[in-house]
Amino acid sequence: TPDLKQALDLAGRTLSARRFRHTLGVASLAEDLARRHGLDPARARYAALLHDLAKEIPEKQQVCLAQRWHLIRYSEDESCPSVLHGPLVSYWLANCCGLADRDILAAIAHHTLGAPNMSRLEMLIYSADLAEPGREFPQVDNLRQALYHSLEKGTLTCVEHTLHYLEESHRPIHPLTRLTHEDLRRRHG
């Protein structure tokens, strides 16, 4: 059973006040959604508390670490380094902290882009990150409602929201975001 106190302390010591507040929001929504949908609330909360731990490492250093740890899979990983912090945290927890829970590691690794064939815990962390209580964009209440109603369809709605947002802001869409969308549409659309 995960050490929630240790995860909370680590997040509180590592993150800025603003990102720690976001992290507590993700933990709270992740725990609620886990209860609602029959997943383990402690594992959901644990993954949420740790998901952004590497977010405030300077991006150049994130790219360096990701190269050293062989985490670069796409050219977009280096041109949009803000997608690397999930895989970095996951690798660090597995290889430096001995965390062996594959589902928690995958949920953290995939929280930014998703992945094909996500588990329910992976979907839950991906979605809680986007819809946590501190987020304020206009459609966020719809996302929360959709997630409460169905974890799978709600996650598909979250990915669709992200795609629209990236298109509107003329940002490149990472190949994994597209693969995640296609996979969820095929399995749950």
- State the minimum distance, in angstroms, from the CB of residue 68 to ligand DGI: 21
Residue 10 interacting partner from ligand DGI, Fe ion, none (CB closer than 5 to 8 Å by kind): none
Residue 93 or 130 with smaller CB distance to Fe ion? 130
Percent helix, percent strand, percent coil in the chain, to nearest 5: 70, 0, 30
d(CA 189, CA 182): 9
Residue 183 interacting partner from ligand DGI, Fe ion, none (CB closer than 5 to 8 Å by kind): none
Residues forming contacts to Fe ion in the complex (CB under 5 A) are: 52, 129-130
Residue 171 interacting partner from Fe ion, ligand DGI, none (CB closer than 5 to 8 Å by kind): ligand DGI
**Residue listed under structure tokens 């986007």:** 130
Asked if residues 69 and 63 have their Cβ atoms less than 8 Å apart, the reply is no
Residue 52 or 122 with smaller CB distance to ligand DGI? 52
* Burial bucket for residue 93 (CB in 10 Å: 0-12, 13-18, 19+): buried
Asked if residues 156 and 114 have their Cβ atoms less than 8 Å apart, the reply is no
- State the minimum distance, in angstroms, from the CB of residue 7 to Fe ion: 14
Query: Two tokens at 76?
Result: 């977009």
Residue 90 interacting partner from Fe ion, ligand DGI, none (CB closer than 5 to 8 Å by kind): none
- State the minimum distance, in angstroms, from the CB of residue 40 to Fe ion: 20
Please write down the HEC assignment for all residues of 25-48: HHHHHHHHHHHHHCCCHHHHHHHH
Residues forming contacts to ligand DGI in the complex (CB under 6 A) are: 22, 52, 55, 80, 82-83, 111-113, 129, 162, 166, 171-174, 177
- State the minimum distance, in angstroms, from the CB of residue 64 to ligand DGI: 18
Residue 118 or 130 with smaller CB distance to Fe ion? 130
Please identify the residue of the shown chain whose CB is closest to the bound Fe ion.
129
Residue 22 or 43 with smaller CB distance to ligand DGI? 22
Please write down the HEC assignment for all residues of 83-115: HCHHHHHHHHHHHHCCCCCHHHHHHHHCCCCCC
